[in-house]
Structure 1
């Protein structure tokens, strides 16, 4: 897979975000010709700036809602592969800014797809959505790609809409004659070093630790399909490669979740993190949730495992350990975090490919 990306022109929207930064580091190691389209980093601090990734990617700064700018960027870059990560990615913020969320996640997808429709260079597009695009029944089973789409909150609903829009463009404009592979990727709750977003479990814990505050859990028994950020990225990269080689066979929706059994409650994740980082936390009925959130969520990734040979390689113990180690290094001013992140990728690649590049 690494050899496939060497010399390929790859565009990442949302390259300054958490996942986008890790994806940039992976593809730069593999020799891809990298381009990014995004706003400035969405958080302070940000992994993009901490790891000095601006020299790894030709970054076009712009809003995904600026249709003319997107068209000009794609015309200039002539990408062969596009990973669409630009989004408003937070459930809580979607309640506070529903119009902005629907605009970004729906019209942003429309503008990108239409810009690609007007350019013939793209051979593969992966639109990254979310596991929350499903109509959640709170059942103890994993959602499959053909499960009902839905979404209670504006974020989840907007991503379900993005799924439908992508499918519509594929059927309407990206026929077999165009030979453009179009897919959506639905991943679980992603954790790992470099995430500083608000209202996410690990970043909230890290901020509380840094301030010396006790951590309060608003829904400790909520269960999620946790996975290290490198796991779904492995899936996205395999998916794009297969789309490039056979658009007809691999276009469609794909789940990328953890191993069965890696689903874990919020309480257990924080408890395990505390064993690596030595902090206190508490739960209680007083910690009332501000908004509706799904209590139980699980993905079925059999399709990707069978057809893409997608295989998560990290246990939850390893995932939490890698995450804790990254943030501990972040607090050490003497550590080169880009080098340390490369070392974590070395470890991951050795598990995936049997060797360190």
Structure 2
């Protein structure tokens, strides 16, 4: 990205969801480019890439929840960030189906609390990026999704994303808040410790010589975008927020090469040389849209963004990260058993 390093140098940046998959890599990129990062952290997971990498020691930490408005308001007024990246959310579709209250509290209340704190924090908050999902569109009669389609989620996770996006747009159109929405499909990469997700769960299963579990029938279609390409997308969206046609808008980010769950798992199978291990296809998924993928032409035209990692390259990097992580965890487990700790 042109002028990206100079743009972020010495800027104060507030990141929610900093211990998550994308949050950890976003913080890493911002620190590498000279930003001063303030991270909102609810739970300190010692296995998070943010902690394992040592990046946590290089950021200012605010402990608290999105549902606590006073914490957000205090954080913004104390640290006066120039930029806000809102990534914190309940991110598992199955968990949202089982516990819709927690899903709505985190993804809806958490979003309007953050936006209201930013509104009251003007004028020092100059740009806000809200991380959303293709799930905000709900089920569409035609694909790929384009940004002009209505937001009409039906199940708890989708509805929460639709609501959060509409609330975000309202804060721009009503109060002039400098905010834009980023919608991605399935994000993968090293550091995702939600083992129920298809990429980390499949890699761990093959690494252990076990059958990976596929909750659907395997024909569900998705986009898969590598985490570093997502970070590039968020950073570029923030940089371009003061340009025409960006603030108040939603942007799709996608490699525009959708594939089925079975196709993805077979790619991982080949890269890990595990074709001899059969798959455990259960077809028990609930609350999931069958086919979802995005058109990213708006991001190409207005933000000059394209993903840099082909799927195979991203999967190789991801597999390498998990192999190192799982080897380390295995050694620690063996050491604990040998010492009786």
> 8 Å contact 2:223–2:294 — kept in the other structure?
yes
Match of 1:274 in 2: 269
- TM-fit CA distance, 1:296: 1.0
Structure 1 residue 211 displacement after superposition: 4.7
* Matching of residue 330 in structure 1 with residue 325 in structure 2: yes
- 8 Å CA contact 1:10–1:82 kept in 2: the answer is yes
**Partner residue in 1 for 2:157:** 155
Classify 1:28/1:47 alpha carbon distance in 2 versus 1 (closer, same or farther; 3 Å): same
From 228, 239, 242, give the equivalent of 1:241. 239
Q: How does the TM-score come out when normalised to structure 1?
A: 0.86
Change (3 A) 1:281 1:60: farther
Cα offset for 1:67? 0.5
Pick aligned residue for 1:321 from 316, 325, 329: 316
Shift, 1:213, TM fit: 2.5
SS at match of 1:184: strand
SS of 2:38 mapped into structure 1:
strand
Residue deviations 1:116-153 (CA, integer Å, cap 9, x gap): 111121000011111110031263x2111111112232
- Residues 147 and 252, structure 2, Cα contact 8 Å, conserved in 1: no
State the SS of the aligned residue for 1:249.
Answer: coil
Describe the SS at the equivalent of 1:128. Answer: strand
Asked if the contact 2:24/2:49 (under 8 Å) is kept, the reply is yes
Q: Distance in 1 between matches of 2:24 and 2:171?
A: 28
Q: Which structure 1 segments of 5+ residues have no match?
A: 175-179, 335-357
Give 3-state SS (helix, strand or coil) of 2:61's partner.
strand
Shift of 1:325: 1.4
SS at match of 2:14: strand
Aligned to 1:46: 48
CA contact (8 A) 1:84 1:126 kept: yes
Q: Which runs of 5+ in 2 are unaligned?
A: 330-341
The alignment partner of 2:245 has SS state of: helix
Q: 1:200 aligns with which of 197, 202, 210?
A: 197
SS, match of residue 296 in structure 1? coil
State the partner residue of 2:286. 291
Alignment match, 2:101: 99
Task: For 1:191 and 1:40, locate their aligned partners in 2 and report how far apart those are by CA, in whole Å.
Answer: 21
Matched residues in 1 for 2:30 and 2:145: separation?
A: 30
Contact 2:253 2:299 in 1 (8 A): no
* TM score, norm. by length of structure 2: 0.89
Alignment of 1:1-357 (within 5 A): 1-41=4-44, 45-120=47-122, 121-137=124-140, 139=142, 141-174=143-176, 180-209=177-206, 211-219=208-216, 220-243=218-241, 245-246=242-243, 249-260=245-256, 262-279=257-274, 280-284=277-281, 287-333=282-328
Contact 2:108 2:160 in 1 (8 A): yes
**How much has 1:48 moved relative to structure 2?**
2.1
Conserved in 1, the CA contact under 8 Å of 2:144 and 2:293? yes
Residues 138, 294 of structure 1: 8 Å contact kept: no
Structure 2 CA distance for aligned equivalents of residues 155 and 86 of structure 1? 14
Matched residue SS, 2:173: helix
Give the Cα–Cα distance (whole angstroms) in 2 for the partners of residues 278 and 129 of structure 1: 34
Distance 1:14 1:78 in 2: 18
Q: Give the match's secondary structure for 2:249.
A: strand
Q: SS at the partner of 2:84?
A: strand
The Cα shift of 1:249 comes to 3.3
User: What is the rounded CA distance, in whole Å, between the counterparts of 1:84 and 1:270 in structure 2?
Assistant: 30
Deviation of 1:288 (Å) = 2.8
Q: 1:264 to 1:138 in 2, by over 3 A?
A: farther
Aligned-pair CA distance for 1:268: 1.2
Which string of whole-angstrom CA distances, capped at 9 and with x for unpartnered residues, describes residues 132-177 of structure 1? 10031263x2111111112232111101100010111112222xxx
Distance, in Å, in 2 between the alignment partners of 1:272 and 1:44 is 30
Does structure 2 conserve the Cα–Cα contact (< 8 Å) formed by 1:138 and 1:295? Answer: no
